[in-house]
A and B are shown apart, each in its own frame.
Chain A
Amino acid sequence: AQKVTQAQTEISVVEKEDVTLDCVYETRDTTYYLFWYKQPPSGELVFLIRRNSFDEQNEISGRYSWNFQKSTSSFNFTITASQVVDSAVYFCALSESNSGGSNYKLTFGKGTLLTVNP
């Protein structure tokens, strides 16, 4: 069974600090996909990034960067120079591909509440 663990329940930082959100996953499949979502106070989940299991290249998008390491089954998310608007709950999620390639399940971690204080 697939599982996603976000060990950090809450993180509080001061604006402009860098912060890393940890995500560790478990899966028996060789083909799988990892996602990060942001949930601001409004409640709607916003898609941030997708990474497939064959692509271990790190990715940077503005102040956001992601570090995918298959050797440690981790897909960590770093926000550089955090801002108050980054305050939200962040979810890591895992999707496995069955033999037909269809997606029927996205397994979420419990989320990390990030608070960025001015």
Chain B
Amino acid sequence: DGGITQSPKYLFRKEGQNVTLSCEQNLNHDAMYWYRQDPGQGLRLIYYSQIVNDFQKGDIAEGYSVSREKKESFPLTVTSAQKNPTAFYLCASNLGQAAHEQYFGPGTRLTVT
């Protein structure tokens, strides 16, 4: 089945540790996105990539890093510099045009203590 997978579903880390969230898609989409969702809030864009080996910062990129070495994969690293990392992280992809809806993965809930 085509879709987006994110792993793990739940992730727990100690403060000060970097953690990498996985996102893989087999939809042959050019563009991929990372969003953060906090309780009672909409989604906020962290990073996006429209093509392999290229990515741009979104609205809240500080404390995060990404890579796009393969079309199918867009991992997100939450670094120790991110002040409030506990959140629900959603990965999405689309064909890269404004007209096209984004398809979302199931999300990873990160808890940092």
* Residues of chain A having any CB pair with chain B under 8 Å: 4, 9, 31-33, 35, 37, 42-47, 50, 52, 91, 95-98, 101-106, 108-111
Contacts and interface: CB of A to CB of B under 8 A. Distances in A.
Q: Is the interface of B mostly helix, strand, loop or mixed?
A: strand
Contacts of A37: 104
A109 B42 contact: yes
B42 A104 contact: no
Contacts of A9: 40
A103 B31 contact: yes
A110 B42 CA distance: 4
A46 B92 CA distance: 11
Interface residues of B, number: 29
A102 B92 CA distance: 16
A109 B45 CA distance: 13
A43 B48 CA distance: 20
B99 A97 contact: yes
B44 to A, nearest CB: 8
Nearest to A6: B42
B102 A106 contact: yes
Contacts of A96: 98
Interface string B76-109: 0000000000001010101011111111111101
